[in-house]
Amino acid sequence: MTEHTPANHAGGQKELPTALSDHLERTREAEEVKKALLARPRLGLRVQLLLGFLVVFLFAVGIAAAIIVSIYRVEQKVKFLEVVNDYVLEIDQARRYEKNFFLYGTNLNDALEAAYKAKEILEENRQKISRIMGPDQWRRVHENIHGYEGLLEQLAGHDRNKGAVSDSVKKELELKVRKKGQRMVVLAQDLMRKEKRAIEAAIAGSRRIQSYSLVFLLLFMISTAYLISGNIVRSIVRFESYAERIAAGDFTPITPTRRYRDEFTNLGLAINHMMQELQKHEAMLVQAHKMRAIGTLTAGVAHELNNPLNNITITVHMLLEDFDELAREECKGMVEDVVREVDRAKKIVSNLLDFTRESETKLEPLDLDELVRCTLELAANQMKIAGIKAELHATENSPRILGDSQQLIQVFLNLILNAIAASSRGGKIQLLVHPADEPDNLSVKVIDYGTGIPKHIINRIFDPFFTTKEKGKGTGLGLSVSQGIIAKHGGRMLVDSREGQGSAFTVILPITTIT
């Protein structure tokens, strides 16, 4: 079965009132929606992006700061190492001079000077050294060097007072000095080592910060990008769904979904406006199509009127002619004939008049078979002129559907007139009204046994302005407008055609529970 259907939107019933409300209602609604959309605080895409970059920048700044700080620390440490180096140098100097003194008896003052310098350095950098080796250790070192100093001073005293002290005392002193001296060196070297290790640790730490922060920066940038693009992509996906919805014929306005507005809001406003115009345009198309139908029918009605008019003319003329000879009863009969023919003429006109009446879309429960019958009456003339008969088969007690009678008649009229045009003189068309295959739906089938629709055309017959009639004969509006009307009613239109055999157009409409 060749199917061409507009998408059927879910929950047909409750969407109908919005989609079919009349123009004023729609305009008012549009205004409200516009206000709602614009009422939120604005957070433009550029601002979003800038914020994102700003955050990443701040993070990078933080990392840079951290790196700067760590390098500063290392720098400090290196500077301090120089101080420690000086200290160690002084200690070494003192020991060398001490050795010299014990070997050659000279440089004792130099040794003392060096020791003083070392102690000075130690005292000057008490805090820093305490930090490296602990305050207790500093005290120990200080004590040690203080002791060493003391011993050296003793030595210096003895040296000045030659011979005042015995050799053994001298020897003992020498031993103490040497021991203290050694200990001094050990401690100094310990200090140096500790300091070197501290520096290495600081450098390693700095390197770690650099590599970790790079990773974190990357992760941070990725997540920020995800966040921002996620916003944008979500909006785009949302608009994709709107586009699909509109293509299916649902013209519900776009309403606010987020807590802020941005450029997409403008897009939403523009699309709402576009839908309004589309609806207006659609209404015009429907009207134009209706006018064409009316034009076709009017010609037929004009001809049909000739019969009652003729009856009246002939009766009245004969009445005038034979007035004196006719019996009262006969005269009365003729006048009654005229009255009856006038009513007949009125009825012929009123049918068409009802159809031409401009009215706002009105939704009400309708009997489909009644509608189809009414449409057949309207088309009766065309059928007579074309020499076509119509058969109507409708199941009894069918449920009602919700719709606008004029618009639906317009659709059925379109299908019937097409079927008539496709049939040849003496042929017939069939109309079937019965429950559809899908539950809670009714189907109306218009079947003709004409030439059918060729395969390469059948996909285009619902396109607006597509027509196979010659220039000036058909506008090509019929089927596309009809399909639009049926879509707005929550139904669909299908076509099945075989070349050489005929065509069947099916309209499926949902039934209503409203009585």
- Could you give the residue ranges of the DSSP H alpha helices within 387-489? 405-422, 455-458, 478-488
Tokens linked to 515: 């009585």
Sequence-distant (6+) residues with CB within 8 A of 454 are 499
Q: Which of residues 265-324 bind another protein (CB under 8 A)?
A: 303-307, 309-315, 317-318, 321-322
**Complex with another protein: residue 47 or 299, whichever CB lies closer:** 299
Sequence-distant (6+) residues with CB within 8 A of 5 are 492, 493, 494
Q: Left, alpha or beta for 257 (phi > 0: left; psi -120 to 50: alpha)?
A: alpha
Minimum distance from CB of 40 to another protein (Å)? 47
**Complex with another protein: residue 85 or 306, whichever CB lies closer:** 306
**Complex with another protein: residue 62 or 387, whichever CB lies closer:** 387
**Complex with another protein: residue 341 or 496, whichever CB lies closer:** 341
* Residue among 457, 462, 468 nearest 499 (CA): 457
In contact, 480 and 281? CB cutoff 8 Å: no
* Residue among 297, 445, 317 nearest 383 (CA): 297
In contact, 250 and 19? CB cutoff 8 Å: yes
Sequence-distant (6+) residues with CB within 8 A of 329 are none
Minimum distance from CB of 305 to another protein (Å)? 8
Q: Left, alpha or beta for 14 (phi > 0: left; psi -120 to 50: alpha)?
A: alpha
Q: Which one of residues 110, 190, 337, 370 is an interface residue with another protein (CB under 8 A)?
A: 337
Q: Judged by CB under 8 A, does residue 341 bind another protein?
A: yes
Minimum distance from CB of 377 to another protein (Å)? 16
Binding string, residues 377-406; x marks residues near another protein by CB under 8 A: -------xx-x-------------------
* Residue among 104, 398, 405, 58 nearest 216 (CA): 58
Minimum distance from CB of 302 to another protein (Å)? 9
Minimum distance from CB of 394 to another protein (Å)? 23
Residue type at 190?
Answer: D
* Residue among 175, 103, 112 nearest 145 (CA): 112
Minimum distance from CB of 342 to another protein (Å)? 12
| Phi and psi, residue 89, nearest 5° | -60, -45
**Complex with another protein: residue 43 or 338, whichever CB lies closer:** 338
Q: What dihedral angle (degrees, nearest 10) is formed by the CA atoms of 56, 62, 64, 65?
A: 160
**Complex with another protein: residue 78 or 302, whichever CB lies closer:** 302
Minimum distance from CB of 321 to another protein (Å)? 7
Q: Judged by CB under 8 A, does residue 356 bind another protein?
A: no
Q: Judged by CB under 8 A, does residue 347 bind another protein?
A: no
Minimum distance from CB of 515 to another protein (Å)? 40
Minimum distance from CB of 306 to another protein (Å)? 3
Q: How many residues bind another protein (CB under 8 A)?
A: 22
CA R_g for the chain: 53
Query: What CA–CA distances, in Å, run from 375 to 390, 403, 445, 482, 483?
Result: 11, 15, 14, 14, 17
**Complex with another protein: residue 30 or 319, whichever CB lies closer:** 319
**Complex with another protein: residue 1 or 327, whichever CB lies closer:** 327
Q: Which of residues 79-118 bind another protein (CB under 8 A)?
A: none
**Complex with another protein: residue 317 or 393, whichever CB lies closer:** 317
Which parts of this chain interact with another protein (CB under 8 A)?
Answer: 303-307, 309-315, 317-318, 321-322, 334, 337, 341, 384-385, 387
